[in-house]
Structures are given as structure tokens and as C-alpha cells.
A and B are shown apart, each in its own frame.
Chain A
Amino acid sequence: MLDIFEKYAVLGAFWMTIKLTFFSAIGALVLGTVLAVMRVSPVAVLSRLGAFYVNTVRNTPLTLLVFFSLAGPYYILQISLTDRQSPTAIVDNNIRWAIVALVVYHAAFVCEALRSGVNTVPVGQAEAARSIGLTFTQSLREVILPQAFRGSIAPLGSVLIALTKNTTVASVIGVAEASLLMSEIFENETASVSVFLVFALGFVVLTLPVGILFTSMSRRLAVKR
């Protein structure tokens, strides 16, 4: 049983899972914040655009997005995210497009988590911010978003956990993360329960601390009213 650790780079595969999660999470947080600001903005065009993005992306299966990210921009439009001369060009390109797809998809969920956080901020906070002369952007940056982030830590944690597990979808375009290695081992060796358990446990080890961390953070950073 333990020989799979010797024959296969199990930890390396999980390292790829962590890398996918890390970069996608940062990208999704940034894009999701932009989307959330668009959705709460008083400019009708922006808020409708934000809503359109969220409704479209949230209702598209991630597998399609990941596959499309490679098939559309890369194969058809020839947009490469790597230097084509590099020896690892193909592998790197797949990884990067997978991250793009993960960012695009999870940004919609980050946006909704943040928007639920915005709803925890009483309207009086915005009125007070405006009445001391802060502009719309300043009110958002100084008063609304800091409180909205604190109010959305718990739902953001759920998004991060989902994201960690959703990185397995990157295997459809051949990114060598944990779940791809698992199916490889199943094919080469045997589809044993113990191999499955090793990988399942690997994901629990990644996501359980995230859940605990976010729960404790949401309690500690909660805005007392």
C-alpha cells in the first residue's frame, strides 16, 4: 500500500492542488471584489453587467469552463499564456488556463459571498460615511468593504473549501493534480479502496484546517454592533 508513495509523486500532485488553489483563490478574491463593487454600485450599467456575469458563470458547469478555457482562447484564438519555446510550454499553459477558469468561476461565488457581507452592514453606516463628505469610492473603501469582508469571512471560507476540491476539475485538461494521479494509479495498479482513502484524506487535510481557521476568524473579526 505504502509503495504508491514510492512509485508515484503523491505529495507532488497535492502540491499542484495547493498551487492551483492558492493562485485561483487570490485571483477569485480580486475579481470577485471588483464584481461585488459593480453589483452594489449605483451605476445601473455596472450593476447589470455584474449581475449578468454572476448569473452566467455561476450556472455554467466548471468542467465546461475549464475545457472551454483551453479549447476557445488557446486552440482557436491561439492565445498562449506561456513562451512557446519553453520546454514545459504545454504543461504550463494548461496549468495557467486551468487557473484562469477557476478564477472566472469562483469569482462569481466570491462576489455573492461579499454581497451577503455588504448586506450585514446597516444602511446608516453608508449614510454616516456620506454625511462626513466621503465620496462613493471612499465610503466603500473606508467603511463598507472592511465591514463587508468581516461579515463575509464564513461564506468566503466555504468558497475556498469548494475551490480546493474543484481544482480536481483541472484534470480534464491534463493538469497533474491529485485527482489525475489517483485515476492514473487506478489504471496502472488497481482501483483499491485504500488508494482512494489516501487521496480523500489528502483533501480533508487540506480543507478541514481552512474551515476551522475561517470559522475562528469570522468569530474573532466580527464587527460588534
Chain B
Amino acid sequence: MDDVKTDTAATSDRTPATPRDPMVVIEGVNKHFGDLHVLRDINLTVGKGEVVVVLGPSGSGKSTLCRAINRLETIEAGTITVDGKTLPEEGKPLAQLRADVGMVFQSFNLFAHKTIRDNVTLGPIKVRKKSKADADKQATDLLKRVGVEAQAEKYPAQLSGGQQQRVAIARSLAMGPKVMLFDEPTSALDPEMVNEVLDVMVGLAKEGMTMIVVTHEMGFARKAADRVVFMADGQIVEVGTPQEFFTHPKSERAKDFLGKILTH
């Protein structure tokens, strides 16, 4: 990595010297909720293996942007492509694309009527057409990796929030996603459970998973992000490395935001 140091543009030790191939490309995206313009001309390219953390005050449109990437929210204008493919409108092509995009929700959304194991194997069996035995084996490995293998035969309601969210991550990983979206994954958790989920996410980032993370966890952004995207009022206000953003925010909105959350 010696040659990186000669590149004066590299400000963070996680920023690679060579540009990455794009994984997610968002161009000119606009969306309204009634009169509210929630996404205004959003342009953002996320490279393969890159970890992008989206920060911003509530109502800034960051969750909507995250959900638009696998079309849980429709967009009115602009295009979103994932690994070179434009998001299909609906139907089977859309389902296939979603299979390649992992999504982790704020409220976990584990299938309440299925055991932990069945939550993880459902996608691989129904979408990837894996055999039950293969899917089971994979589920065991993944549950081990996120540290909930002992709970495999239980139902979601019997697990703590932190455990449920780790299962939700395992469920997404079981599909072998090209990119993972995290929509405030720790916001619904009790404080003592936040770290067990963040640890799994940091692990994923280190392994080179492409991740787009909407969160309020500044520690995670500092530790794992390649880039921080700051949104306010439906716009991307500032993009930079975590170091740049947290130490020298350029925009007034970002200074104001950081001032409010970092003072205590």
C-alpha cells in the first residue's frame, strides 16, 4: 500500500488509489410524497466493495433513498442501476434484481410464523432453487457467523432485538447479495444490543461487501465507512471521507447537524 501514500488525494486509509467499478449508480432521482419533495436530483455512485454511510436529520430523505434502491419506493424521475442493470418496473425481473440486493430493516421484519432457520432458508429454496439440505447447511453456517446458531429452531418473537437483527442480516446474506442496504438497522434496538449488530456489519465491511448504510451511529461511520453522504431536505449536501466530514464539514447544514449530535 506504499504507493497509496504518494497519492495526495487519498485522505483516508480506506480509500483505494484506483477508482472502483460502479455497483450502484443513482442519477437524477426525484420523488415527492404529496407536496413534500423528498428526493431532489440525487446523484450518487457507489463502487464495488465500497461502504457508504448516509447521515442526515430525520425527514431528510435518506431512508427513502435507501428503499428506492430496491424499489420498495418508486421514483418519479431519474434512473437507478445495480451492477449495470437498470431497475425493472415490476414483475419477475424486479424480483430477480431484489434477490441480488440485500435489505436490512429498522424493525427487523423477520417472518413471524417461521422459525429462525426457515427465515434464512426461504429465499435460497424458493428464489435460488437450492435443495433443502444445501439451504439448511448454509443457514447453519450463516447463523453461526452472526452468533445465533443456538436459536435456529425458535421463532422470531422469542429472540432479543439484537438477535433478530443479526438473523435478518443472515437472511439477506443467504441470497449472496451483490450489495447490502441497511435502513437504520440499530435504531429500534436497546442500547446494549447495538454493538452486537454493528460488529457483524463491521465484519461484513472488512470482507469487502458493498454496503449502503443509513444510520445515526457515528462510531460505525468512522470505523467502517469509505465515504459519508450527508443529506438534508431531500438533497445530498456533502460527500466526503469520514475523516473529512467529521473534522472539517464544509456545509453549514453539516456543521449544524454535527454540532447537535456531537456535543454530548
Residues on the A chain within 8 Å of B70, using CB:
131
Report A123-148 residues with CB < 8 Å from chain B CB.
Answer: 124-125, 127-135, 138, 142-143, 146-147
Q: A124-B107, A124-B109, A224-B112 are in contact. Are A133 and B122 (CB under 8 A)?
A: no
Contact A133 B123 (CB under 8 A): yes
B127: interface (CB < 8 Å): yes
A123's nearest neighbour on chain B, judged by CB, is B109
Binary contact track B148-162/A, C-beta < 8 Å → 1, others 0: 000000010110000
In angstroms, Cα B105 to Cα A130, docked, is 13
In angstroms, Cα B95 to Cα A125, docked, is 15
Q: A124-B105, A128-B105, A133-B96 are in contact. Are A147 and B113 (CB under 8 A)?
A: yes
Contact B157 A133 (CB under 8 A): no
A150: interface (CB < 8 Å): yes
- What secondary structure prevails in chain A residues at the interface with B? helix
Contact B113 A150 (CB under 8 A): yes
A-B contact count (CB 8 A): 71
Residues on the B chain within 8 Å of A147, using CB:
112-113
Residues on the A chain within 8 Å of B168, using CB:
128
Residues on the B chain within 8 Å of A124, using CB:
105, 107, 109
Q: Which one of A133, A134, A143 has the highest number of Cβ atoms from chain B below 10 Å of its Cβ? A: A133
Contact A224 B157 (CB under 8 A): yes
Contact A128 B111 (CB under 8 A): yes
Contact A131 B112 (CB under 8 A): no
Residues on the B chain within 8 Å of A49, using CB:
none
Residues on the B chain within 8 Å of A225, using CB:
112, 157
Give the contact-size bracket for chain A: 20 to 34
Contact A131 B113 (CB under 8 A): no
In angstroms, Cα B168 to Cα A148, docked, is 22
Residues on the B chain within 8 Å of A125, using CB:
109, 111-112
Report A209-225 residues with CB < 8 Å from chain B CB.
Answer: 223-225
B64: interface (CB < 8 Å): no
B143 to chain A, nearest CB (A): 16
Contact B122 A142 (CB under 8 A): yes
Q: A127-B105, A223-B113 are in contact. Are A132 and B157 (CB under 8 A)?
A: no
In angstroms, Cα B106 to Cα A93, docked, is 58
Contact A143 B111 (CB under 8 A): yes
Contact A135 B92 (CB under 8 A): yes
Binary contact track A56-99/B, C-beta < 8 Å → 1, others 0: 00000000000000000000000000000000000000000000
Interface residues of A (CB under 8 A from B): 122, 124-125, 127-135, 138, 142-143, 146-147, 150, 223-225
Kindly list 17 other residue pairs between chains A and B, CB separation below 8 angstroms, not including A124-B105, A132-B122: A124-B107, A127-B109, A128-B109, A128-B110, A128-B168, A130-B72, A131-B172, A132-B98, A132-B99, A132-B171, A134-B123, A138-B126, A138-B127, A142-B111, A142-B126, A150-B113, A223-B112
List 4 A-B pairs, minimum CB-CB distance, nearest first: A133-B99, A224-B157, A128-B109, A132-B123
Q: List 21 A-B contacts (CB under 8 A).
A: A127-B105, A128-B111, A131-B98, A131-B101, A132-B99, A132-B122, A132-B171, A133-B95, A133-B98, A133-B123, A133-B127, A133-B175, A134-B95, A134-B122, A134-B123, A135-B91, A135-B95, A143-B111, A150-B113, A224-B155, A224-B158
